[in-house]
Structure 1
Amino acid sequence: TITYSTGKDSTPATQKLVEAFEKKYPNIKVKVQELPNSTDDQHNSYVTALSAGDSSIDVLAMDIIWTPEFAAANWLLPLDDKFTKEMRDKFLPGPVEAVTYNGHVWAVPRFTDAGVLYYRKDIIDTPPKTWDELIQMAKENVGKGGTKYGIVFQGNQYEGLVCDALELIGSNGGSVLEGDKVTIDTPQAVAGLQYLIDLVKIAPPGVTTYQEEDARNVFQQGEAIFMRNWPYAWSLVNGDDSPVKGKVGIAPIPRGKDGEVGTPVLGGWNLGINKYSKHPEEAWKFIEFVTSEEGQKVTALEGGNLPTIKSLYQDKEVLAKNPYWADFYDVFITAKPRPVSPFYPQMSDSMQINFHKALTGEITAQQAIQNIAKDLNDIIKNEGKK
């Protein structure tokens, strides 16, 4: 018996995967251990168990941003000889980059997620290619089709704001970290953050308190022309009870004037093996099955999760169930992970605070970027000594 630890699944996908796996490997039984709903609570329960050397979990489902942290803490088995280059080449590049730390591969990407731009296709014919175009279109068209605002996004002080801000910084040619070198203190990054501050002016007054669902609700009520959100919102804004059903298009994140391409921020989940597991070989068979084309197809059809294997975006059954996924492929191919660092949680705290202060006008974009650069350098210097 192996134990698979994962967040609560409200769809039948996990159950179907386990059944299919046990049929294929009748001598291995899988026990599913459900974690709390909030990702912060999930993270804390892993840290408590793994720092005590707990061997009761074999396979861990991890948020994309935890993998380097767990690898650096020595809680994961390296998978270089199992998740081979030949296998990795079948996957989207962003998710593979996110499981690679310090020259080794520590997990296999199970499903992916990336920021997308939603727009009202009954108002806008062609979606904007640049942020300047978006702001212009929003100003010219607000009021049409019952709209009150140009855009909604995630402006609350939490991880979602970091994702939104990093998309604007990245799509304007900026970056945060390259290896262990802090690279955020550039004019491109400042100008990228300034775009986000400018979006506040065409957004609802409460946008600096919004998370994903707040943004979706305003957009779904027909009050905004554009929305930055994740793919999950698509089936909801097109639900039978949605006032904007049939009026919504999706497009890649626009680019800034100093950028070459819009860079959506990558989300998603990975599967890894607990270093203390007593059944590493069986655990690998389970991961290999769940992340294979066959396994990811089950997750795509039953759980609505976007695959990390490129070929499934051309799969007839998958596209019959989710025709709009063909459009998402172009978004995911340019998606970039957040800084791949074991100290990401501390870095995110600094970014959340400073990005939010810039949005609410307490500090300028320049000050926010300088504060973050200083904090990140301190974090790398101090944490590296521990």
Structure 2
Amino acid sequence: MSDPERTGRRRVRTRAGAAAAALALIAPMAACGTADEGGIPTINLYYAPEENFQQVVDRCNTEAEGRYRIAYRVLPRGADDQRVQMVRRLAAEDRGMDILGLDVTWTQEFAGAKWILEWTGEQRSEVEEGTLEGPLATARYEEKLYAAPKNTNVQLLWYRTDLVDTPPATWDEMIEQASRLKAEGKTHQVITMGAQYEGLVVLYNTLVASAGGRIIDEEANKAVMDEGAVRALEQLQRFATAGVTDASFANAIEDPARLVFQSGGGAFQINWPYVYPALQEADPQLAEKVRWARIPGVDAGTPSKVTIGGYNLAVSAYSEHPQESFEAAMCLRSAENQKFSAINDGVPPTIESVYDDPEMAQAYPMKDTILEQLQDAATRPRSPAYQNISTVTSAVLSPPSAIDPAATADELREAIQDALDSKGVLP
């Protein structure tokens, strides 16, 4: 909505015809064969931009000793653009795709469409051994493993120690601290993402899980929106109207939010770990005053459950070299390579033992807090229809200040059920 303060809400409509419109995005493409060089299979890896990931690919190519060669095909930076490119090519049964880097919210969709292969036997056991349960849950569909978690992610509460003595344990406590700072004429804002996009869904999902609620049932067949989900709506609306957010809250996404806090415009920030190295480089003096903590919970005495992000590695069902692709994916997400990516690219590992490595301590000082949250994490609704669920949820929740908890819960329940029933969405 263009006016974040208006109380009238635009209803999210669903209709079956939208599904046909969505299919138009999946235009047929000419399948591309996998090129072999000198008899060595080329394993095409389609993965998001990651600054130092080519070094991981090079290391795995060396370890392959000529059995195959991994080619890193860099996807667009935007998650939606990544997904659209892969969906279009997989729908065309493109044989030029081997390993796919999937956002954690896509695994069930791709598995349900039979675009990716199941991990079985020793390879499944090796992936599951020592991997944190939260990331593993994002890689499963119908109790089968369809991907190998490469890296995870989890937001933290960042706060100014020159303004706050003790980080808040609950959202209400954070609102109280920010209000007190505001009354004293000090920097007080709580900076986080409230725009109509996935970041708002992540925020709401964290509140739902922290309140012990559910959005959909375990079988991903029914929209639940239980008491905990309603309490999360109450908390989100209270936060949005307490006068402690930045003026841009209803339009904020990750990087602009980071820049507001980085420029000294907030006492608190809820954002991903990448803000730490960015702040160190941009303003070392401010960085000395910033610490991190677990995201506040909804109830006193009950720790939060924080929504995880990250990427999983899957093998395309149309790969001409599935055996080599599974082997290559195992190398790319090995403990040593996950440690390298954590230290050099700031992406948290999914293998728990990596957090104990001494090299992690200096580059990742917030690692213990990250691990603590990952050990008791929340996942977003795991359903092949997640993209539609996310679309309708962000639309109904926007702007957060206009939420009417009971009515909004009813609206979400109906819209999410339509998404689960594959009726398509028109937000």
SS in 2 for 1:263: coil
Q: Is the 8 A contact 1:3 1:59 kept in 2?
A: yes
* CA–CA separation in structure 2 for the residues paired with 1:145 and 1:231: 29
Question: What's the CA shift for 1:352?
Answer: 0.5
Number of matched pairs: 379
SS in 2 for 1:142: helix
2:69 alignment partner, one of 23, 29, 41: 29
Query: What letter corresponds to residue 21 of structure 1 in structure 2?
Result: C
2:307 alignment partner, one of 243, 265, 270: 265
Tell me what 2:12 maps to: none
TM-score (norm 1): 0.93
Query: What letter corresponds to residue 175 of structure 1 in structure 2?
Result: R
Question: What's the CA shift for 1:257?
Answer: 2.4
* CA–CA separation in structure 2 for the residues paired with 1:295 and 1:257: 38
* CA–CA separation in structure 1 for the residues paired with 2:122 and 2:113: 21
Q: Is 2:276 the counterpart of 1:237?
A: no
* CA–CA separation in structure 2 for the residues paired with 1:196 and 1:81: 44
Q: Is 2:300 the counterpart of 1:251?
A: no
1:5 alignment partner, one of 37, 46, 54: 46
Question: What's the CA shift for 1:183?
Answer: 5.3
Q: What is the RMSD computed on CA atoms of the aligned residues?
A: 2.0
Identity %: 31
1:86-121 residue CA offsets vs partner (Å, 9 max, x unmatched): 541301110001111111100000001012111112
Q: Is the 8 A contact 1:96 1:109 kept in 2?
A: yes
* CA–CA separation in structure 1 for the residues paired with 2:81 and 2:122: 30
* CA–CA separation in structure 2 for the residues paired with 1:296 and 1:205: 38
Q: Is the 8 A contact 1:314 1:326 kept in 2?
A: no
Report the CA distance shift for 1:80/1:145 in structure 2 as closer, same or farther (over 3 A).
Answer: farther
2:420 alignment partner, one of 376, 380, 384: 380
* CA–CA separation in structure 2 for the residues paired with 1:73 and 1:381: 15
- Structure 1: 5+ residue stretches without partners: none
Q: Is the 8 A contact 1:343 1:380 kept in 2?
A: yes
Q: Which deviates the most, 69-78 or 108-117?
A: 108-117
Question: What's the CA shift for 1:342?
Answer: 0.1
SS in 2 for 1:311: helix
Q: Is the 8 A contact 2:152 2:349 kept in 1?
A: yes
1:284-318 residue CA offsets vs partner (Å, 9 max, x unmatched): 11111111112212212332221100011110112
SS in 1 for 2:189: strand
Query: What letter corresponds to residue 166 of structure 1 in structure 2?
Result: N
1:76 alignment partner, one of 116, 133, 136: 116
1:175 alignment partner, one of 214, 232, 238: 214
- Structure 2: 5+ residue stretches without partners: 1-41
TM-score (norm 2): 0.84
* CA–CA separation in structure 2 for the residues paired with 1:237 and 1:179: 42
1:173-226 residue CA offsets vs partner (Å, 9 max, x unmatched): 212122224454323222212212222221122210111122212211222111
Report the CA distance shift for 1:118/1:144 in structure 2 as closer, same or farther (over 3 A).
Answer: farther
Q: Is the 8 A contact 1:221 1:242 kept in 2?
A: no
Q: Is 2:384 the counterpart of 1:342?
A: yes
